[in-house]
Amino acid sequence: MLCVTFIDARARTQPPIGLLMPLSATNPHRLPSTVARDDEHLLVAAAKRGDTHAFEELVNRYEAKIFRLTMNITRNREDAEDAMQDAFLKAYAHLKDFQEDSRFYTWLVRIAANEALMRLRKRRPNQFSLDEPVEGEEDLMPREIEDWGPSPEQRFAQTEMHEILSEVIDKLEPDFRVVFVLRDIEELSTEETAKALGISVPAVKSRLLRARLKLRQRLDRYFRRGVTH
């Protein structure tokens, strides 16, 4: 319930999420994330030369996204904060090792995801494993198929939508949740997600499919036509 406390605390001070964009139904290819601004490589280069202000600017730019990532993986505010803090400290300590063959943000996400996973494993040693194969296909078939009606962004206020998304992702099994978070929220590629988690591309795809179908199933009770909250 810590995540609920987090949402409530945020809701009092500012809107919790931005406007939801319309569906990109005609174009299944997502545009690359716009998180990397043009000057990112300049800041990284300056930080590598020892410019601490440049590193602080990188932190300011990505701290909210990294905290969302660690919260989404750990679902525990204390762990999320520790993971975020250690991720930035490690990034600073190992900045000279960053080869710039990927975006700085992607590199940072990998470090933060590992920090968050470490804490998740510690807290739930018997409930979380990315090594085990996922179950068969029997559970894949959707049980309820109802019309969702008008688009959710038109029906729900931002705070309400944030609460719904938080609640459904909280209930997703950690090994599915981690893949979904990296792939669909942080917009890492399938290969980057596999590399970050140390699992194969087919394992990422199989978990992503299940995560998406399970989340669709859980959103159904909120989004189906005629449901009001």
Residue 104 touching other proteins (CB under 8 A): no
Q: Tokens in use for 155?
A: 């029906």
Q: Tokens in use for 163?
A: 């609460």
Binder among 4, 42, 145, 227 for other proteins (CB under 8 A): 145
Residue 151 touching other proteins (CB under 8 A): yes
Q: Which residues contact 10 (CB under 8 A, 6 or more apart)?
A: 16
Please report, to the nearest 10 degrees, the dihedral formed by the alpha carbons of residues 5, 8, 13, 19 taken in order.
120
Q: Tokens in use for 221?
A: 């009770």
Residue 111 touching other proteins (CB under 8 A): no
Region from 37-45, 112-120, 127-135, 148-156 binding other proteins, contact rule CB under 8 A:
148-156
Residue 64 touching other proteins (CB under 8 A): yes
* 3-state percent breakdown (helix, strand, coil) of the chain, nearest 5: 65, 0, 35
Sign of the Cα pseudo-torsion (161, 163, 165, 168, in order): negative
Residue 23 touching other proteins (CB under 8 A): yes
Cβ proximity to other proteins: between 117 and 165 the closer is 165
* DSSP 8-class letter at 133: P
Residue 176 touching other proteins (CB under 8 A): no
Q: How far apart are CA 35 and CA 102, in angstroms?
A: 13
Q: Using CB under 8 A as the criterion, which residues of the chain lie in contact with other proteins when the complex forms?
A: 6, 9-10, 14, 16-18, 20-21, 23-25, 28-30, 50, 52, 55-56, 59, 63-65, 67-68, 81, 84-85, 88-89, 92-93, 137, 140-142, 145-148, 151-153, 161-162, 165, 169, 180, 184-185, 187, 190, 205, 208-209, 212-213, 215-216, 219-220, 223
